[in-house]
């Protein structure tokens, strides 16, 4: 399983809660109601990527730590 590094751009987060609903063991709400990652390896890779994909404003970025490849959003070509 790839080791993922997941980050939330809080400036972009609109507090929809989708990521926390899809991967509650990875994302939690901070004191301002924005999402934050509290456990980088709290769910399977596919679950984390699906949670990132569920974000309506694409505030979540997922990078494969080993290769440095950005898995989501897909890098622009
Ligand atoms: S899905 Fe996106 S907008 Fe919604 S809480 Fe998570 S990071 Fe914020």
Per-residue pLDDT of the chain (77 residues; tens, 9 = 90+): 569 999 999 999 999 999 999 999 999 999 999 999 999 999 999 999 999 999 999 999 999 999 999 999 987 77
Ligand 1 centre to CA of 65 (Å) is: 22
The three state secondary structure string of the chain is CCCEEEEECCCCCCCCCHHHHHCCCCEEECCCCCEEECCCCCCCHHHHHHHHHHCCCCCEEEEECCCCCEEECCCCC
Structural domains in the chain, CATH included, are 4-71 (3.30.70.20)
Does residue 22 line the site of ligand 1, with CB under 6 A?
no
State the pLDDT at residue 2: 62
User: Strands 60-64, 70-72: parallel, antiparallel or unpaired by DSSP?
Assistant: antiparallel
Atom of ligand 1 nearest to the CA of 55: 1
Which of the listed residues 10, 12, 14, 33 should we mutate to test ligand 1's pocket, taking the one with most ligand atoms within 8 A of CB? Answer: 14
CA separation for the pair 53, 48 (Å, rounded): 9
């Amino acid at each position: 399983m790839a080791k993922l590094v997941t980050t939330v751009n809080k400036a972009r987060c609109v507090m929809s809660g989708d990521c926390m609903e899809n991967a509650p063991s990875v994302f939690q709400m901070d004191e301002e109601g924005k999402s934050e990652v509290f456990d980088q390896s709290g769910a399977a890779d596919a679950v984390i990527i699906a949670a990132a994909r569920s974000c309506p404003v694409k505030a979540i970025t997922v990078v494969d730590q080993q290769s440095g490849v950005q898995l989501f959003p897909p890098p622009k070509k």
